[in-house]
Amino acid sequence: MAAAIDALTSPTLKHLREAWWDDVFTEFLAETLKPRPGNRILDVGCGEGLAEVAIGRLHISQVRLVGVDLVLSKVLAASQETASHNLRVKFAAADACRLPFRDGVFDSLYSVAVLQHVNDVEAAVAEFARVTAPRGRVLAVEPDNSARYGFSSTPAGRRAFELSRSFFSALSGQSDGRRSAIGPNLPRLFSESGLEPLDVRLFPVSLTLLGPPDASVWKSRREAVERALRSGAPDAAQWIGREYLETLTAYEAEATPAGSSFVEIQHTILFATVGQKID
């Protein structure tokens, strides 16, 4: 669905989640973590527990899952989301940089699309290594937002992609975003924390719109920008946002009459890095 995967409405991959977290990704997660009966597995930055539900569908018996998230409302939503799924899972509020667990208590650990939001990434990865048992697996999945590609067949569309980049960076107060380029830096971060990098797997995520999008897509794009502007955007973001809104209107006006010659392409890459705690 076009509105669900849209780099023009969000600086992160959260709207793309449905597009890439499929059965192949869940199986990759399970193959990587190698869960065995009785294993304890930690999800750092579990959000609303969707990963736990997906893992539960694999019916790996007697695995004990623990999910933590910085935001209490997410933890509560995760408990609710998983309640009817017959899982051995517990959730708690905790910061990735100060995990409330003893050294080496988890057999494996995963963290998906979280480090891009964390200020002290080194501290978080060191915590991943600390709470994982020797020879245990750690999986971190992060994007590199500079690997994003956006193309439109109309001039206002190409300008909209440029403005979305500057608008979302101005909103976050980051000009270049060291954190948004975290994906390909994970092997280095792992090595520095005593995790031996074993594999890097790329998960491409793409969308092609051929023919102009529905009115609802344009509406949701404009609403996303208006929402961001209302929620206390800094001055730099305010003026870029106003130009961005005008450009989205011009983009719709160019796209609609273009008919089947209209094309818009969005593409990005997720970097999944697998590490093993050194003995």
Binding mask 92-111 vs ligand SAM (x if CB under 6 A, - otherwise)?
---xxx--------------
Under rule CB under 6 A, residue 47 binds ligand SAM: yes
Per CB under 6 A, the segment of 45-53, 127-135, 146-154, 199-207 that binds ligand SAM is: 45-53
Q: Least CB distance from residue 72 to ligand SAM, whole Å?
A: 10
Helix then strand count (H, E) for the chain reads 9, 8
Planar angle of CA 262, 263, 267, nearest 5 degrees? 165
Return the closest-CA partner of residue 25 out of 57, 67, 47, 3: 57
CB of 156 to ligand SAM, least distance (A): 30
Judged by beta carbon, residue 94 or residue 209, the one nearer ligand SAM is 94
Chosen residue from 1, 4, 14, 234 binding ligand SAM by CB under 6 A: 14
The pair of structure tokens assigned to 262 is: 């209209």
112 binds ligand SAM (CB under 6 A): yes
Integer Cα distance of 20 and 14 in angstroms = 10
Complex with ligand SAM: residue 61 or 119, whichever CB lies closer: 119
C-beta of 143: minimal distance to ligand SAM in Å?
10
Size of the site for ligand SAM (CB under 6 A): 20
CB 113, min distance to ligand SAM, A:
4
Q: State yes or no: residue 117 binds ligand SAM (CB under 6 A).
A: yes
> Between the CA of residue 105 and those of 4, 40, 149, 190, 208, what are the distances in Å?
37, 8, 40, 19, 44
Contact call for residue 45 and ligand SAM (CB under 6 A): yes
CA nearest 225: which of 212, 209, 208, 237? 237
* Residue closest to ligand SAM (Cβ): 47
Task: Compare residues 14 and 227 and give the one whose CB is closer to ligand SAM.
Answer: 14
Residue where the block lists tokens 């989640």? 17
Angle, CA of 9, 11 and 17, to the nearest 5°: 80
- Interface with ligand SAM includes 51 (CB under 6 A)? yes
**Of 71, 215, 253, 278, which one interacts with ligand SAM (CB under 6 A)?**
71
Binds ligand SAM by CB under 6 A, chosen from 19, 30, 50, 250: 50
HSE, side-chain direction, 13 A CA sphere, residue 257: 3
Tokens of 203: 């998960």
Residues with Cβ within 8 Å of residue 179, at least 6 apart in sequence: 115, 116, 117, 118, 119, 121
Q: Can you give the binding site for ligand SAM, defined by CB under 6 A?
A: 12, 14, 17, 45-47, 50-51, 69-71, 74, 95-97, 112-114, 117-118
